Amino acid sequence: MATFLEIAMPLIQRGIPVIPVAPLEKAGVLPNQYAYATTDPSQIVQWNKENPNFNVGCVGKPNGIVVLDCDVLGLTGRIERETGNKFPPTLVVRSAGKGCDHLYFKQTPISRGLGNQKAAGLFDLQSVDKYVVGPGSRLANGKTYDILTDAPITDFPDWLAVWITSNADIPKKHANGKDARPVHEDFDFDAFVEFYDIGGHQDGDWFITDVCPVAQHSA
């Protein structure tokens, strides 16, 4: 199994700011972690001394990278069909969870203008102080994050911004008119459902459980 140093160094050499992530997990380990995202080799060495088994988080920054984090298989093909455009060669990583694509791009004025975007069950655009687990990292299920396309990171395509804005969720309001309270940035809904064995189905932006999860797990 590769060490934190071995998986992080090639990433920072590509200009990707990184943070340490808990071994075999997706959760970060540092308080105020995004303030420590770095491409400094000396910091990587120090984190490796603290725990060589850390996974690596690749952090979106306005002057760094932005990552299209796909939540369904085949999304890149769908985007190409719907837009009539082809993705340019860039770094593409397959996730260890669902096996979906993470597409890495350099930030541009257009991508910076988009900021963080998401469509539930479809994609997340990790642009500003958001991260994906980086290639070489491993989860407890034994699966790894693997590079699918080992290409230089290219600029965020202008045409992709149009598709993102057309498909991103519109922030929902409660009945009192206030925005819904956000969950913690590291919350992984899929892992939560799997851990508690909660059955259900997706209905638009909502996950409808088969039974009440509170009643089911409150014995």
**pLDDT for residue 1:** 78
What pTM did the predictor assign? 0.79
Q: Residue 21: phi, psi to the nearest 5? A: -125, 145
Region of poorest pLDDT, from 62-76, 118-132, 139-153, 195-209: 195-209
Residues paired with 59 in a beta bridge: 131
Tens of pLDDT along 23-44? 999 999 999 999 999 999 999 9
**pLDDT for residue 219:** 43
Domains annotated on the chain, with CATH: 4-167 (3.30.2250)
Tens of pLDDT along 172-205? 554 455 554 454 455 556 666 565 566 666 555 5
% the chain with pLDDT above 70: 78
Q: What is the number of other CB atoms lying within 10 angstroms of the CB of residue 53?
A: 14
**pLDDT for residue 181:** 47
Tens of pLDDT along 86-137? 999 999 999 998 999 999 999 999 999 999 999 999 999 999 999 999 999 9
**pLDDT for residue 170:** 79
